[in-house]
Amino acid sequence: MPPAIEASALSKTYPGPVVALAGVELTIARGTIFALLGPNGAGKSTTVRVLCTLTRPDRGSAQVAGVDVLADPVSARRVIGVVGQKHGADLEATGRENLVLQGEFYGIVGRGLKQRVEESLDRFGLAAAADRQAKTYSGGMQRRLDIAMGLLHRPRVLFLDEPTTGLDPEARVALWREIERLAAEERMTILLTTHYMDEADRLASELAIIDRGQIVARGAPEQLKSELQGDGIQIELAESENANAGAALARLDGIREVELDGRTLRARARDGGAAIPSVLATLERHGIKATAVTVARPSLDDVYLRHAGRAFQAEQPELEEASA
């Protein structure tokens, strides 16, 4: 069976110049949740905009559900659903009116449209608020309305661009459950972009880490984490940029991948808990004071650090959308 999404050598540069994409390659199987993970400015949104026919790449090709998005964008739009970062609903209209208008855009009319609207309102828990203006909805309700609109025409591939940004924890978990249900019960292919590591870890059967417009790692979350082989050790130092700290730890047996970032010293050990006494003793011998120490199993943050060479939270605000 051909893949649901296939992209080859996608490149895009905005004025500045800002390199948003630098040869992105993607192949996504049907019926899976695939996460495109990266910080703001990494190229996530530009990739989605190309696949959704909203932006043309400078070079490369892409197909979604077997349709060439560059050669036949109209057909591509009929087989995809899109939920962007910003709300797509008309906040002055009611939830029901938004869904009806969305259906009419796709040529759905009459009894069939009415039935789909009612089903969507029930599925997303919006039936009681169907005739209220969308501006009176909570953030979680507005997000559910966005997804209901994106699904009304029954797309084969759904794009969710940062779907839980700004939601409270309860609404976020509820939306996670709905995304999981769509993939499990309806065999829908979902491409999810996010900068939340826990979101990608929970939802995605496979993910790709994008950094500065390139895919730098790809695989199942557990596979990528298992490749790190050991516990992460993070030490907060009393003084910043103490070069002696990194050099001291690097000489210890069983300690590897030592990185110093300001006052934060990171390393990896097969058994982090057992390594802590010797780590602290070594720092003390070199006159280096530690204020806090943590040990953790490998996480997607660690995977990002390994492949991108820097901490995830150190990235800059998104440039690509402002330049689009």
pLDDT score recorded for residue 263: 87
**Amino acid, res. 222:** E
pLDDT score recorded for residue 324: 35
Per the DSSP assignment, residues forming a β-bridge with 82 are 159
Q: How many CB atoms lie within 10 A of CB 277?
A: 9
What radius of gyration, in Å, describes the C-alpha atoms of the chain? 23
Query: From first to last of its 324 residues, what are the pLDDT tens digits of the chain?
Result: 789 999 999 999 999 889 999 999 999 999 999 999 887 788 988 999 999 999 999 999 999 999 999 999 999 999 999 998 888 899 999 999 999 999 999 999 999 999 999 999 998 999 999 999 999 999 889 989 999 999 999 999 999 988 888 788 888 888 888 889 888 888 899 999 988 888 999 999 999 999 889 999 999 999 998 887 788 899 999 887 577 888 888 889 889 888 888 888 989 898 899 999 999 999 999 889 999 999 988 888 888 877 776 555 544 444 444 333
User: Which helix (H) or strand (E) segment is 236 a member of?
Assistant: strand 231-237
Domain with CATH 3.30.70.2470 in the chain: 229-297
Tokens of 136: 């009176």
Domain with CATH 3.40.50.300 in the chain: 5-222
Contact 26, 6 (CB under 8 A): yes
pLDDT score recorded for residue 299: 83
Residue 182 has φ and ψ, to the nearest 5°, of: -60, -40
User: Do strands 67-68 and 214-219 pair parallel, antiparallel, or not at all (unpaired)?
Assistant: unpaired
CB-neighbour burial class of residue 242 (10 A; exposed 0-12, middle 13-18, buried 19+)? buried
| Overall residue count recorded for the chain in this entry | 324
User: Which helix (H) or strand (E) segment is 104 a member of?
Assistant: helix 95-105
Question: What DSSP string describes 163-211?
Answer: TTTT--HHHHHHHHHHHHHHHHHH--EEEEEES-HHHHHHH-SEEEEEE
Beta strands of 15-96 (E only): which ranges?
Answer: 18-28, 33-37, 59-64, 67-68, 80-83
CA 198 – CA 319 distance, rounded (Å): 24
pLDDT score recorded for residue 310: 57
CA 128 – CA 141 distance, rounded (Å): 11
pTM, rounded to two decimals = 0.78
pLDDT score recorded for residue 99: 97
Crossing angle of helices 139-151 and 95-105, rounded to 10°: 20
Q: What CATH class has 5-222?
A: alpha beta
Chain-centre distance for alpha carbon 251: 37
Crossing angle of helices 139-151 and 110-123, rounded to 10°: 140
Tokens of 18: 């800002």
Crossing angle of helices 110-123 and 95-105, rounded to 10°: 130
CA 70 – CA 39 distance, rounded (Å): 27
The CATH architecture assigned to 229-297 reads 2-Layer Sandwich (3.30)
Q: Pick from 45, 66, 50: which is nearest to 3 by CA?
A: 66
CB-neighbour burial class of residue 86 (10 A; exposed 0-12, middle 13-18, buried 19+)? exposed
